[in-house]
C-alpha cells in the first residue's frame, strides 16, 4: 500500500486514507462506509451534510451550463468559463483543500481534450492547473522546476489530466517535462498501485508536438495567467 501525504505529518499523528473514491453522493458513501462500522468525518462529508439541496441543484445546473457553453463555442478561450467557475465555487462552503470542487472535474475533462486537439497548449496547461487548484492541490512552478507542494483529491481523472499536461508541457515548456512526467507517473502509481504500465497507457501521448509549435503564436497572448510559464 502506498501512502502519499497531502501535508506534513507530525510524529505520532494518525494517518487517514480514503476507503472509497469520494465521488459518490453522500447518502451512498454513508451506506458504503456503514460496512466498516464508522461514520466519516472528513471535510467533504461534513460540508456536504450541511449543503442545501438548492445549492446542489445550482451546482448541477452550472456544471451543465459549462458543458453546453463548451459545446456551442468550442474552445475560444478559458475566459468564457470564468464566471461559471466562480459561481460554482460559491456553492462550496470550505476552501478546496478541505472541500474539493468535484463538480469541476466533468466539465474540465470535456474541455481538455478539445484544447489539445486544437493545439491550444497554453490554455490546456491553465485548465489543468485550475483543476488541480480546485481539487486542493498546490502546484509550485518556477523556471526550473514543477512540483506539488500539496497533493489534493485523487481520482482517475487526475492521472488523465496530468498525462495531458505532459503533452502540453512537451510543447510549451519542454525543460520542465521531466518534472511533470515524474508527478504524472506518481499519480498513476497512487491510483493503480504500480507504474510499470505507465508507458503503455500514456506513452502514446506527445504525437502533437511538431504541429503544435507552428500554432504557438495563436496562444502566446494568453500565457500571463500561468505563473513562470513561457512559450518557447
Ligand atoms: Zn468523508
> What are the tens digits of pLDDT across the range 71-110?
887 767 788 888 899 999 999 999 999 999 999 999 999 9
Q: What is the pLDDT of residue 201?
A: 87
Ligand 1 geometric centre to CA of 49 (Å): 10
Q: Is 230 among the domain residues? A: no
Q: Is 63 among the domain residues? A: yes
- Residues lining ion ligand 1 (Cβ < 5 A) are 40, 42, 44-45
Q: Is 34 among the domain residues? A: no
Range of the domain at 69: 41-216
d(CA 64, CA 38): 34
Ligand 1 geometric centre to CA of 129 (Å): 24
Ligand 1 geometric centre to CA of 18 (Å): 8
Contacts of 111 (CB under 8 A, 6+ apart): 70, 75, 81, 127
Helix 121-134 crosses helix 79-89 at what angle (to 10 degrees)?
A: 0
Ligand 1 geometric centre to CA of 112 (Å): 28
Q: Is 32 among the domain residues? A: no
* CATH number for 153: 1.25.40
Q: Name the residue with higher pLDDT: 168 or 34.
A: 168
Predicted confidence (pLDDT) at residue 178 exceeds the cutoff of 90: yes
Q: 193-216, pLDDT tens digit by residue?
A: 888 999 888 875 544 443 444 333
Ligand 1 geometric centre to CA of 190 (Å): 19
Burial code (b: 16+ CB inside 10 Å, e: under 16) for 81-106 equals beeebeebeebbeeebbebbbbbbbe
Q: Is 231 among the domain residues? A: no
Q: Is 4 among the domain residues? A: no
Ligand 1 geometric centre to CA of 177 (Å): 34
What's the pLDDT band for 226 if we cut at 50, 70, 90? very low
If DSSP codes are grouped into helix, strand and coil, which group holds residue 1? Answer: coil
Provide the number of structural domains found in the chain. 1
No. of helices (H) and no. of strands (E), the chain: 10, 2
Q: Which three cell numbers stand for residue 161?
A: 489530466
pTM: 0.82
Q: Is 209 among the domain residues? A: yes
Phi-psi region of 52 (alpha: psi -120 to 50; beta: other; left: phi over 0): beta
Amino acid at each position: 500500500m502506498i501512502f502519499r501525504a497531502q501535508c506534513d505529518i507530525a510524529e505520532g499523528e494518525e494517518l487517514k486514507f480514503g476507503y472509497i473514491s469520494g465521488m459518490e453522493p453522500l447518502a451512498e458513501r454513508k451506506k458504503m462506509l456503514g460496512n466498516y462500522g464508522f461514520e466519516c468525518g472528513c471535510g467533504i462529508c461534513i460540508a456536504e451534510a450541511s449543503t442545501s439541496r438548492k445549492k446542489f441543484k445550482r451546482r448541477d445546473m452550472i456544471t451543465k451550463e459549462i458543458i453546453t457553453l463548451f459545446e456551442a463555442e468550442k474552445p475560444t478561450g478559458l475566459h468564457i468559463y470564468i464566471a461559471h467557475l466562480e459561481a460554482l465555487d460559491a456553492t462550496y462552503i470550505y476552501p478546496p483543500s478541505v472541500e474539493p470542487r468535484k463538480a469541476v472535474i466533468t466539465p474540465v475533462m470535456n474541455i481538455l481534450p478539445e484544447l489539445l486537439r486544437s493545439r491550444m497548449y497554453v490554455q490546456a496547461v491553465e485548465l489543468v492547473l485550475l483543476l488541480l487548484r480546485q481539487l486542493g492541490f498546490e502546484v509550485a512552478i518556477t523556471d526550473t522546476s514543477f512540483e506539488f507542494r500539496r497533493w489534493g483529491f485523487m481520482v482517475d481523472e487526475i492521472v488523465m489530466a496530468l498525462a495531458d499536461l505532459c503533452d502540453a508541457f512537451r510543447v510549451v515548456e519542454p525543460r520542465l517535462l521531466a518534472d511533470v512526467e515524474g508527478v504524472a507517473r506518481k499519480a498513476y502509481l497512487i491510483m493503480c498501485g504500480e507504474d510499470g504500465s505507465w508507458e503503455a497507457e500514456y506513452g502514446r501521448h506527445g504525437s502533437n508536438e511538431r504541429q503544435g509549435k507552428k500554432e504557438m503564436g495563436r496562444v502566446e497572448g494568453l500565457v500571463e495567467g500561468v505563473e513562470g510559464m513561457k512559450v518557447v
